[in-house]
Amino acid sequence: MKFGIWGNTDKEKFWSLLDPILSWSEKNSLDPYITTRIYDKLPPNFSFSPKVIKSADEFNKLDFLIALGGDGTILSAARAVGARKTPIAGIHLGELGFLAEITVDEMFKRLNQIIEKSFSVNSKMVLKATLSKRNSEKIFFALNDFVVDRGQSQRIIDLELYAGKSFISSYKSDGLIISTPTGSTAYSLSAGGPILAPEVSAITVTPLSPHTLSLRPIVLSDNQILKIISPSEGNIAFAVDGQVSDYFSNDTEVKIEKASYDIRMISFSDSDYFKTLNLKMGWGRRGKD
Protein backbone atom coordinates (compact mmCIF):
# COMPACT_ATOMS: atom_id res chain seq x y z
CA MET A 1 0.00 0.00 0.00
CA LYS A 2 1.02 3.56 -0.70
CA PHE A 3 0.07 6.41 1.61
CA GLY A 4 0.82 10.10 1.91
CA ILE A 5 1.65 12.30 4.87
CA TRP A 6 0.27 15.84 5.03
CA GLY A 7 0.97 17.85 8.14
CA ASN A 8 1.24 21.13 9.95
CA THR A 9 5.02 21.53 9.93
CA ASP A 10 4.80 24.46 12.32
CA LYS A 11 3.80 22.13 15.16
CA GLU A 12 6.53 20.39 17.14
CA LYS A 13 4.12 17.51 17.69
CA PHE A 14 4.15 16.79 13.97
CA TRP A 15 7.92 16.33 13.92
CA SER A 16 7.83 14.10 16.99
CA LEU A 17 5.38 11.79 15.19
CA LEU A 18 7.01 11.69 11.75
CA ASP A 19 9.76 9.21 12.69
CA PRO A 20 7.39 6.77 14.45
CA ILE A 21 4.99 6.84 11.48
CA LEU A 22 7.76 6.13 9.01
CA SER A 23 9.08 3.34 11.26
CA TRP A 24 5.56 1.87 11.36
CA SER A 25 5.32 2.05 7.56
CA GLU A 26 8.70 0.29 7.17
CA LYS A 27 7.65 -2.45 9.60
CA ASN A 28 4.44 -3.02 7.62
CA SER A 29 6.13 -2.82 4.18
CA LEU A 30 4.24 0.29 3.16
CA ASP A 31 5.35 2.91 0.67
CA PRO A 32 5.21 6.40 2.30
CA TYR A 33 5.10 9.73 0.46
CA ILE A 34 5.54 13.19 1.99
CA THR A 35 4.71 16.66 0.68
CA THR A 36 7.38 18.99 -0.67
CA ARG A 37 6.74 21.29 2.32
CA ILE A 38 7.67 18.47 4.71
CA TYR A 39 10.63 17.43 2.58
CA ASP A 40 12.05 20.96 2.49
CA LYS A 41 11.98 21.12 6.30
CA LEU A 42 13.46 17.70 7.05
CA PRO A 43 16.27 17.88 9.60
CA PRO A 44 19.84 17.07 8.48
CA ASN A 45 20.78 13.38 8.47
CA PHE A 46 17.14 12.31 8.54
CA SER A 47 17.09 8.52 8.91
CA PHE A 48 14.34 7.81 6.35
CA SER A 49 14.05 8.48 2.62
CA PRO A 50 10.33 8.72 1.82
CA LYS A 51 9.20 9.59 -1.68
CA VAL A 52 7.91 13.10 -2.36
CA ILE A 53 4.50 14.14 -3.70
CA LYS A 54 5.61 16.46 -6.49
CA SER A 55 2.23 17.23 -8.07
CA ALA A 56 -1.43 17.06 -7.07
CA ASP A 57 -2.10 14.26 -9.56
CA GLU A 58 0.21 12.00 -7.56
CA PHE A 59 -2.56 11.76 -4.95
CA ASN A 60 -4.22 9.40 -7.44
CA LYS A 61 -1.70 6.67 -6.72
CA LEU A 62 -2.10 6.81 -2.93
CA ASP A 63 -4.37 4.39 -1.06
CA PHE A 64 -4.89 6.96 1.71
CA LEU A 65 -3.56 10.25 3.04
CA ILE A 66 -2.73 10.97 6.68
CA ALA A 67 -3.39 14.60 7.69
CA LEU A 68 -1.70 15.52 10.98
CA GLY A 69 -2.81 18.80 12.54
CA GLY A 70 -5.95 20.71 13.40
CA ASP A 71 -9.04 21.31 11.31
CA GLY A 72 -7.18 23.84 9.16
CA THR A 73 -4.66 21.18 8.17
CA ILE A 74 -7.43 18.80 7.12
CA LEU A 75 -9.18 21.54 5.14
CA SER A 76 -5.99 22.34 3.25
CA ALA A 77 -5.43 18.62 2.57
CA ALA A 78 -8.97 18.34 1.24
CA ARG A 79 -8.38 21.25 -1.15
CA ALA A 80 -5.17 19.63 -2.37
CA VAL A 81 -6.81 16.24 -2.96
CA GLY A 82 -9.83 17.82 -4.62
CA ALA A 83 -11.72 15.46 -6.92
CA ARG A 84 -9.07 12.73 -6.81
CA LYS A 85 -11.00 10.59 -4.29
CA THR A 86 -8.02 9.79 -2.04
CA PRO A 87 -9.41 8.93 1.43
CA ILE A 88 -8.11 11.23 4.19
CA ALA A 89 -7.41 10.06 7.76
CA GLY A 90 -7.39 13.06 10.09
CA ILE A 91 -5.09 12.86 13.13
CA HIS A 92 -5.82 15.53 15.70
CA LEU A 93 -2.89 17.70 16.86
CA GLY A 94 -4.80 20.95 17.41
CA GLU A 95 -6.97 22.41 20.14
CA LEU A 96 -10.41 21.29 18.94
CA GLY A 97 -9.89 19.04 15.96
CA PHE A 98 -13.55 18.41 15.18
CA LEU A 99 -12.81 17.08 11.68
CA ALA A 100 -10.11 14.66 12.85
CA GLU A 101 -11.44 11.36 14.21
CA ILE A 102 -8.05 9.98 15.27
CA THR A 103 -6.23 11.05 18.42
CA VAL A 104 -2.48 10.66 18.91
CA ASP A 105 -3.03 8.10 21.69
CA GLU A 106 -4.91 5.75 19.36
CA MET A 107 -3.04 6.64 16.18
CA PHE A 108 -1.27 3.33 15.50
CA LYS A 109 -4.34 1.31 16.44
CA ARG A 110 -6.30 3.24 13.81
CA LEU A 111 -3.51 3.08 11.23
CA ASN A 112 -3.39 -0.69 11.66
CA GLN A 113 -7.14 -0.81 11.11
CA ILE A 114 -6.66 1.13 7.87
CA ILE A 115 -4.08 -1.28 6.43
CA GLU A 116 -6.31 -4.17 7.55
CA LYS A 117 -9.15 -2.43 5.65
CA SER A 118 -11.22 -2.30 8.82
CA PHE A 119 -12.66 1.16 8.22
CA SER A 120 -15.36 3.00 6.32
CA VAL A 121 -15.28 6.06 4.11
CA ASN A 122 -17.67 8.97 4.66
CA SER A 123 -18.33 11.24 1.71
CA LYS A 124 -18.33 14.92 2.65
CA MET A 125 -20.19 17.42 0.51
CA VAL A 126 -18.13 20.16 -1.17
CA LEU A 127 -19.36 23.58 -2.33
CA LYS A 128 -18.24 25.30 -5.51
CA ALA A 129 -18.20 29.09 -5.86
CA THR A 130 -17.84 30.95 -9.15
CA LEU A 131 -17.05 34.66 -9.03
CA SER A 132 -17.96 36.19 -12.39
CA LYS A 133 -16.96 39.68 -13.43
CA ARG A 134 -17.33 40.87 -17.02
CA ASN A 135 -15.51 38.19 -19.04
CA SER A 136 -13.46 36.67 -16.21
CA GLU A 137 -14.20 33.92 -13.69
CA LYS A 138 -12.60 32.65 -10.51
CA ILE A 139 -13.58 29.25 -9.10
CA PHE A 140 -13.15 28.07 -5.50
CA PHE A 141 -14.07 24.91 -3.59
CA ALA A 142 -14.87 24.61 0.12
CA LEU A 143 -15.37 21.65 2.45
CA ASN A 144 -16.62 23.87 5.31
CA ASP A 145 -17.91 27.20 4.08
CA PHE A 146 -17.74 30.32 2.01
CA VAL A 147 -17.98 33.61 3.90
CA VAL A 148 -18.96 36.91 2.33
CA ASP A 149 -18.28 39.76 4.73
CA ARG A 150 -17.24 43.39 5.12
CA GLY A 151 -13.54 42.59 5.45
CA GLN A 152 -11.57 45.46 6.96
CA SER A 153 -14.42 47.92 6.56
CA GLN A 154 -16.52 48.98 9.55
CA ARG A 155 -19.68 49.54 7.53
CA ILE A 156 -22.72 47.30 7.15
CA ILE A 157 -22.87 45.76 3.68
CA ASP A 158 -25.86 45.17 1.40
CA LEU A 159 -26.27 41.72 -0.15
CA GLU A 160 -29.02 40.12 -2.21
CA LEU A 161 -29.49 36.34 -2.16
CA TYR A 162 -31.23 34.27 -4.85
CA ALA A 163 -31.95 30.54 -5.21
CA GLY A 164 -32.18 29.89 -8.92
CA LYS A 165 -34.54 32.60 -10.22
CA SER A 166 -36.20 33.05 -6.83
CA PHE A 167 -35.29 36.04 -4.71
CA ILE A 168 -34.74 34.94 -1.08
CA SER A 169 -33.92 38.17 0.70
CA SER A 170 -31.79 41.27 0.90
CA TYR A 171 -29.41 41.50 3.84
CA LYS A 172 -28.06 44.55 5.62
CA SER A 173 -25.51 42.81 7.80
CA ASP A 174 -21.85 42.03 8.39
CA GLY A 175 -22.13 39.28 5.78
CA LEU A 176 -23.28 35.73 5.03
CA ILE A 177 -21.91 32.25 5.75
CA ILE A 178 -22.79 29.58 3.20
CA SER A 179 -21.88 26.20 4.64
CA THR A 180 -21.97 22.46 4.05
CA PRO A 181 -23.16 19.98 6.71
CA THR A 182 -19.48 19.61 7.67
CA GLY A 183 -19.17 23.37 8.06
CA SER A 184 -22.38 23.63 10.08
CA THR A 185 -20.34 22.99 13.26
CA ALA A 186 -17.74 25.65 12.37
CA TYR A 187 -18.20 29.42 11.87
CA SER A 188 -21.89 29.02 11.04
CA LEU A 189 -22.56 27.45 14.44
CA SER A 190 -20.85 30.30 16.28
CA ALA A 191 -23.04 32.74 14.34
CA GLY A 192 -26.23 30.96 15.44
CA GLY A 193 -26.64 28.55 12.55
CA PRO A 194 -28.11 25.04 12.88
CA ILE A 195 -26.15 21.80 13.24
CA LEU A 196 -26.71 19.50 10.27
CA ALA A 197 -26.09 15.78 10.67
CA PRO A 198 -23.36 14.53 8.29
CA GLU A 199 -25.76 12.45 6.18
CA VAL A 200 -28.01 15.46 5.46
CA SER A 201 -27.32 16.86 2.01
CA ALA A 202 -28.15 20.54 2.29
CA ILE A 203 -26.72 24.06 2.20
CA THR A 204 -27.04 26.45 5.13
CA VAL A 205 -27.07 30.24 4.80
CA THR A 206 -26.37 32.05 8.09
CA PRO A 207 -26.39 35.86 8.26
CA LEU A 208 -23.72 37.64 10.27
CA SER A 209 -25.22 40.23 12.65
CA PRO A 210 -28.22 41.12 10.43
CA HIS A 211 -29.67 44.56 11.06
CA THR A 212 -33.19 43.16 11.53
CA LEU A 213 -34.86 40.63 13.82
CA SER A 214 -36.63 38.90 10.93
CA LEU A 215 -33.59 37.41 9.18
CA ARG A 216 -32.55 34.00 10.49
CA PRO A 217 -30.47 31.10 9.12
CA ILE A 218 -32.06 29.10 6.31
CA VAL A 219 -31.43 25.52 5.16
CA LEU A 220 -31.74 24.87 1.44
CA SER A 221 -31.69 21.76 -0.72
CA ASP A 222 -28.27 20.84 -2.10
CA ASN A 223 -29.62 21.07 -5.67
CA GLN A 224 -30.15 24.82 -5.35
CA ILE A 225 -27.84 27.20 -7.18
CA LEU A 226 -27.37 30.27 -5.00
CA LYS A 227 -26.51 33.70 -6.34
CA ILE A 228 -25.18 36.61 -4.28
CA ILE A 229 -24.82 40.15 -5.57
CA SER A 230 -24.06 43.41 -3.80
CA PRO A 231 -25.65 46.70 -4.87
CA SER A 232 -23.19 48.62 -2.68
CA GLU A 233 -20.02 50.39 -3.76
CA GLY A 234 -16.66 49.13 -2.52
CA ASN A 235 -14.94 45.77 -2.16
CA ILE A 236 -16.45 42.87 -0.22
CA ALA A 237 -14.32 40.08 1.24
CA PHE A 238 -14.76 36.46 0.17
CA ALA A 239 -13.22 33.67 2.28
CA VAL A 240 -12.86 29.96 1.53
CA ASP A 241 -12.75 27.64 4.55
CA GLY A 242 -11.29 30.56 6.50
CA GLN A 243 -8.01 30.18 4.62
CA VAL A 244 -8.22 31.47 1.05
CA SER A 245 -9.48 35.00 0.50
CA ASP A 246 -10.43 37.26 -2.37
CA TYR A 247 -12.43 40.43 -2.89
CA PHE A 248 -15.27 41.34 -5.21
CA SER A 249 -17.22 44.47 -6.07
CA ASN A 250 -20.80 45.33 -7.06
CA ASP A 251 -20.20 44.30 -10.69
CA THR A 252 -19.43 40.73 -9.58
CA GLU A 253 -21.89 37.83 -9.34
CA VAL A 254 -21.13 35.07 -6.83
CA LYS A 255 -22.69 31.71 -7.72
CA ILE A 256 -22.54 28.90 -5.14
CA GLU A 257 -23.62 25.32 -5.75
CA LYS A 258 -22.84 21.75 -4.79
CA ALA A 259 -19.57 20.59 -6.35
CA SER A 260 -19.44 17.59 -8.67
CA TYR A 261 -17.25 15.65 -6.22
CA ASP A 262 -17.10 14.78 -2.51
CA ILE A 263 -14.18 14.60 -0.09
CA ARG A 264 -13.71 11.11 1.35
CA MET A 265 -12.87 10.93 5.05
CA ILE A 266 -11.84 7.72 6.79
CA SER A 267 -14.04 6.69 9.72
CA PHE A 268 -14.44 3.67 11.99
CA SER A 269 -17.33 1.53 13.20
CA ASP A 270 -17.05 2.75 16.80
CA SER A 271 -17.03 6.44 15.86
CA ASP A 272 -20.08 8.42 16.99
CA TYR A 273 -20.85 11.88 15.58
CA PHE A 274 -23.09 12.92 18.47
CA LYS A 275 -20.60 11.66 21.05
CA THR A 276 -18.01 13.86 19.35
CA LEU A 277 -20.39 16.83 19.61
CA ASN A 278 -20.77 16.11 23.31
CA LEU A 279 -17.07 15.69 24.05
CA LYS A 280 -15.68 18.52 21.94
CA MET A 281 -18.49 21.07 22.00
CA GLY A 282 -20.44 20.26 25.14
CA TRP A 283 -23.54 19.38 23.11
CA GLY A 284 -26.46 18.41 25.36
CA ARG A 285 -24.72 19.25 28.63
CA ARG A 286 -26.39 21.24 31.40
CA GLY A 287 -24.11 23.35 33.59
CA LYS A 288 -21.43 21.16 35.17
CA ASP A 289 -23.27 17.86 34.60
Say how far apart CA 268 and CA 121 lie, in whole Å.
Answer: 8
Q: Could you tell me which residues are beta bridge partners of residue 132?
A: 137, 253
Strand partners of residue 252: 133
What is the model's pTM?
0.91
What is the model's pLDDT at position 35? Answer: 97
User: What is the pLDDT, as a whole number, of residue 289?
Assistant: 54
Query: Which of the 8 DSSP states describes residue 42?
Result: P
In the prediction, which pLDDT does 144 show?
96
**Cβ contact 164:224 at 8 Å:** yes
With residue 76 as reference, give the H or E element that holds it: helix 71-81
Q: Digits of tens for pLDDT over the chain (289 positions)?
A: 999 999 999 999 999 999 999 999 999 999 999 999 999 999 988 999 999 999 999 999 999 999 999 899 999 999 999 999 999 999 998 666 678 889 999 999 999 999 999 999 999 999 999 999 888 899 999 999 999 998 777 788 999 999 999 999 999 999 999 999 999 999 999 999 999 998 899 999 999 988 887 889 999 999 999 999 988 777 889 999 998 888 888 889 999 999 999 999 999 988 877 777 777 776 666 666 5
Radius of gyration of the chain (CA): 21
Whole-number Å distance between alpha carbons of 266 and 4: 14
Residues designated catalytic: 71
Beta strand 31-35 pairing with 51-53: parallel
